[in-house]
Structure 1
Amino acid sequence: MKWLLAMLLLGTCTTALAQEATARQPEPNTRVPQGVMRYAPSGFPDRIVASPAQDARTGFSVAWRTDTTVGAPLLEIVVAGDSPDMGDQRRITATSVALKTENGSAHHHRADVDGLQPDTLYAWRVQGDRTWSAWHHTRTAAKASAPLTLLYFGDTQNKNVSLTTRVVREAMRHAPDARLALYAGDLVSGGDGEDDNEWGEWFEANEVLPTSLVVAPAPGNHEYFEEFEDTPQERRVLGAHWPVTFALPGNGLAEAKRTTYWFDYQDVRVVVIDGTSALDLGTAKAQAAWLDQALASNPHRWSIVLTHQPFFSPREGRDNVPLRKHLLPVISKHKVDLVLQGHDHVYGRLKSPPPVFVVSVTGAKQYRLSDEARRTMRPVAEDTQLFQVLRFDGPRLRYEARTATGRLYDAFDLVDGGERGKQLVERDEDRIDERACTRAETLKGRTDRCWE
């Protein structure tokens, strides 16, 4: 009798769990309930992020946010020490820009720090209204021959706190020595009336990363919005958050000054291009000329081009012809090593020698692969959140793509053979099997996506 009762209870629980799973609803893009002001600015500094100067050996820049009571606040910096008394701090006055959003009016601040010593750990903090942030640590870039570890993230975009957080934590656990983080655009979704909440969630999801590493993002199409939508005057316009959220180098193309830039970090030159501007605003040819100059003057062994839209798209129905027409010849001419991309919300590495073209995704939105991608790329993945760890050590670059749980998905080495050029060496050991989407549709009934 007891056995029968237990079985009946188990059956009831199983049925309830099955019904709960069947009734599962799509998760909202942010965790902020309607009518709640979760990310209002205050006198306490927040959204603090360090970015590299053009020469990362001698400087970096910091952006942060407060309410409008704070204007032209200070950044204090000193060589980090073991005692709480680190000595006299150097003070730098920030510039401030106002921004009004659904969370109220804020001031966004920028301080540019120069004249630093290479490979030196600095402690720094930023000012608010009668208060300061914590002291943060940033180490300047070392000499070119020193080993370097960096992180590369594809689109974060959706449900950042809910599902990006775990990937960032896993990335920092696998690469505690990383000094630089590259983001391939679409950091947020935008255009939904809660842009500021999304940026608040991006910073919350990234936790200590933006103040422990220097951050270099590429702009994505979701950092833009459609002005005069559905009219003859419709056009792409850069969103108000992008220019004030990051303190990026000001060496970009005149026609895309706030969204293109380059910098040197040890033995690597990183050049960031703006695919949205190239495709939708007609700057592809001008960006190609600017990219040619930035790569021609590269004195380092390695080069990376960071962009949002892929040159070779792994998603069905996308074909970014102007990128290949104008910018690809420049990349080939200068023998760029890596082209790191996002936008298509799958994983794919083009089967080719250097340059190596990679598309990856970090966030929750997941698309489906095209048949062309399955023929021309290896490995590929659907329904998989990823981060990438890149380690540069003299003539060898080691690349790893890992899943949200840290499992190895893709790995290769680029080895510089001098006059023989750079060779790609596959590393197949310990990789997990190829991942494919097994869902017929999303919770919203979309068959063209795997998750959203």
Structure 2
Amino acid sequence: MSRAPVVTAGLLLAILLGTGPAAAKQPATAAEPNTQVPAGNRHYAASGFPDRIVASPAQDAARGFGVSWRTDAAVSAPVLEWVLAGDSPDVGTPTRVAATTQPLDTENGRAHYHRADVTGLQPDTLYLWRVQGKDTWSAWNQLRTAGSAAQPLTLLYFGDTQNKNLSHVSRVLRAGLKAAPQARLSLFAGDLVSGGDGQDDSEWGEWFAAAGWLPQETVVAPAIGNHEYFEEFEDTPQERRVLGRHWPVTFALPRNGVDAADTSTYWFDYQGVRIAVLDGTSALDLGTAQAQAAWLDKVLADNPHPWSIVLLHQPFYSPREGRENAELRDVLLPVVRRHQVDLVLQGHDHTYGRRGEGQAATPQFIVTVAGPKQYRLSAQARASMAPVGEDTQLFQVLQLDPQHLRYEARTVTGRLYDGFELTRDANGRKQKTELTDGRIAPRDCTRAQTLKGRADRCWE
């Protein structure tokens, strides 16, 4: 004779409260908000304690790096301290670098953002550094400068994080660091936050909360996305794109970009690779494509390294239905081809897709996504790219030495989704080999619509 299941008082209470096993089987009925911050809550307001601490590469990343951090308005012109790393808690006498300070007013009140540039360092050397707040300091952070072009390099590459950073993106960034604990550099392909919803500062707060120690233990090099801009005079004849106020103060990026987009374009050398970062939004919407092309031509013309990477937000070849970035292909793509760029790393379309050009090994054009917002692929993408993917959060690990470049795209659970290796001979000629062992099958979206009822997306 079958027996009825025993329901304890504790289990009954859990079910009634929506926390028990019965509740766990119930489907979600509403999409999550972009942040976990309740309306009107100022959880991410600045204080006297330094936060949002992020290191970025100097133009010559073997000799220095820049650091940005935030405090409340009581702190102006604080200092950064750095010293050679050692095994003793007695760090010795550090060198001090005075920071410059800029104010920023947001929904969380006024904050002061500080920037310090560390110079005169030695290549491939581990340094300790910390930043000052009001009568307090950050933790001591360890960061190793770039080595020579002959040394192997591991770096991480992430597509759009953008939405639900604390809730969903944090595990992608953690998975990347676990897969490549030796990584020294992290590239982000724009749209780090969504913005424009009156909670921009809380979104940035959750991006840093999601990133954890990554912005201090690796140098972070982001491209700017369209969501780092905002629409001024929206729905009027005067509507225009305006650079968001967080972007210029959040990162201490090299100041070597094109004049027409001087806070959102830059380049740097890192251990055998030259990386040029473009501003696709400015090129497409603000008329700077020609100026960026001329600048990129000069940056790539004197590249002494065996490898080159172009990082930007909007793809040259879009895998999403209904998107065309023709001006990027018309104006900037010829420069990429002329200088035989190896990788073009992109985001924006919230899907996965990779393609080359004919039988040539390079360039390889890649679009990927780290965040939970997921779009659908176009028929053109399925016909012209391989592999492609929907409904998948990914991170990428790149390993480079003078003769080899190995690329792996992995799902958030660590499974190999895509991979290839470029081999460079003594004459600079390159061959591509697909990495197929252990690669999972391409993934498609199985949902008819999102929780908000959108059929053009897979998840949001």
TM superposition score category, shorter chain reference: over 0.9
1:78-112 CA-to-partner distances (Å, cap 9, x unmatched) read 00111111211000000000000001100000000
Tell me the secondary structure at the aligned position of residue 75 of structure 2.
coil
Which residue is equivalent to 1:364?
Answer: 372
Which amino acid in 1 is paired with 2:47?
S
Which residue is equivalent to 2:126?
Answer: 121
Which residue is equivalent to 2:320?
Answer: 315
Q: How does 1:170-181 map to 2 (within 5 A)?
A: 170-181=175-186
Match of 2:154 among 144, 149, 156: 149
Deviation at 1:417, TM superposition (A): 2.0
1:380 aligns with 2:414: no
User: Is the 1:351–1:378 contact (alpha carbons within 8 Å) kept by the matching residues of 2?
Assistant: no
- When residues 287 and 349 of structure 1 are mapped into structure 2, their CA distance, relative to the original with a 3 A threshold, is same
Partners of 1:381 and 1:363 in 2: CA distance: 14
Match of 2:350 among 345, 352, 366: 345
Which amino acid in 1 is paired with 2:331?
H
User: Is the 1:351–1:376 contact (alpha carbons within 8 Å) kept by the matching residues of 2?
Assistant: no
Match of 2:190 among 180, 185, 189: 185
1:424 aligns with 2:423: no
Deviation at 1:5, TM superposition (A): 2.1
Count of aligned positions: 448
Match of 2:207 among 199, 202, 210: 202
- When residues 18 and 176 of structure 1 are mapped into structure 2, their CA distance, relative to the original with a 3 A threshold, is closer
Match of 1:24 among 29, 35, 43: 29
Q: How does 1:79-94 map to 2 (within 5 A)?
A: 79-94=84-99
Partners of 2:448 and 2:260 in 1: CA distance: 43
Match of 2:288 among 283, 286, 296: 283
- When residues 81 and 105 of structure 1 are mapped into structure 2, their CA distance, relative to the original with a 3 A threshold, is same
Tell me the secondary structure at the aligned position of residue 332 of structure 2.
helix
Question: Please, which runs of 5 or more residues in structure 2 have no aligned partner?
Answer: 9-14, 16-20
Q: How does 1:46-125 map to 2 (within 5 A)?
A: 46-125=51-130
Deviation at 1:393, TM superposition (A): 1.9
Deviation at 1:36, TM superposition (A): 1.1
Which residue is equivalent to 1:402?
Answer: 410
Root-mean-square deviation over aligned CA pairs: 1.7
User: Is the 1:349–1:357 contact (alpha carbons within 8 Å) kept by the matching residues of 2?
Assistant: yes
Match of 1:303 among 308, 322, 329: 308
1:355 aligns with 2:360: no
Deviation at 1:8, TM superposition (A): 11
Which residue is equivalent to 2:242?
Answer: 237
Deviation at 1:307, TM superposition (A): 0.2
Deviation at 1:23, TM superposition (A): 5.3
Which residue is equivalent to 2:452?
Answer: 444
Tell me the secondary structure at the aligned position of residue 163 of structure 2.
coil
- When residues 166 and 118 of structure 1 are mapped into structure 2, their CA distance, relative to the original with a 3 A threshold, is same
User: Is the 1:118–1:140 contact (alpha carbons within 8 Å) kept by the matching residues of 2?
Assistant: yes
Which amino acid in 2 is paired with 1:108?
Y
Which residue is equivalent to 2:143?
Answer: 138
1:29-87 CA-to-partner distances (Å, cap 9, x unmatched) read 10001121110100000000000000001000000000000000000000011111121
Deviation at 1:290, TM superposition (A): 0.4
Deviation at 1:20, TM superposition (A): 6.3
Moved more, 344-353 or 66-75: 344-353
Deviation at 1:205, TM superposition (A): 0.2
Which amino acid in 2 is paired with 1:366?
Q
Partners of 1:22 and 1:166 in 2: CA distance: 21
Deviation at 1:351, TM superposition (A): 4.2
Identical pairs, percent: 66
Which residue is equivalent to 1:158?
Answer: 163
Deviation at 1:420, TM superposition (A): 6.3
Tell me the secondary structure at the aligned position of residue 332 of structure 1.
helix
Deviation at 1:394, TM superposition (A): 2.2
User: Is the 1:152–1:181 contact (alpha carbons within 8 Å) kept by the matching residues of 2?
Assistant: yes
User: Is the 1:304–1:339 contact (alpha carbons within 8 Å) kept by the matching residues of 2?
Assistant: yes
Partners of 1:312 and 1:394 in 2: CA distance: 28
Deviation at 1:19, TM superposition (A): 9.9
Partners of 2:28 and 2:108 in 1: CA distance: 33
Partners of 1:341 and 1:215 in 2: CA distance: 16
Partners of 1:148 and 1:419 in 2: CA distance: 21
Tell me the secondary structure at the aligned position of residue 152 of structure 1.
strand
Which amino acid in 2 is paired with 1:417?
D
User: Is the 1:382–1:436 contact (alpha carbons within 8 Å) kept by the matching residues of 2?
Assistant: yes
Tell me the secondary structure at the aligned position of residue 419 of structure 1.
coil
Per the normalisation by structure 2, the TM-score is: 0.95
Which amino acid in 2 is paired with 1:397?
L
Partners of 1:295 and 1:171 in 2: CA distance: 29
Which amino acid in 2 is paired with 1:32?
V
Which residue is equivalent to 1:390?
Answer: 398
Partners of 2:23 and 2:200 in 1: CA distance: 36
Moved more, 343-352 or 76-85: 343-352
Deviation at 1:232, TM superposition (A): 1.1
Which amino acid in 2 is paired with 1:144?
A
Which amino acid in 1 is paired with 2:413?
T
Deviation at 1:24, TM superposition (A): 2.3
Partners of 1:279 and 1:433 in 2: CA distance: 34
Tell me the secondary structure at the aligned position of residue 215 of structure 2.
helix
Match of 1:36 among 23, 37, 41: 41
Partners of 1:200 and 1:210 in 2: CA distance: 13
Which residue is equivalent to 1:5?
Answer: 4
Deviation at 1:17, TM superposition (A): 4.1
User: Is the 1:52–1:263 contact (alpha carbons within 8 Å) kept by the matching residues of 2?
Assistant: yes
1:218-269 CA-to-partner distances (Å, cap 9, x unmatched) read 0000000001111111110000000000000000000000000000001000
Per the normalisation by structure 1, the TM-score is: 0.97
Which amino acid in 1 is paired with 2:431?
Q
1:269-324 CA-to-partner distances (Å, cap 9, x unmatched) read 00000000000001011100000000001110000000000000000000000000
Deviation at 1:346, TM superposition (A): 0.2
Moved more, 351-360 or 123-132: 351-360
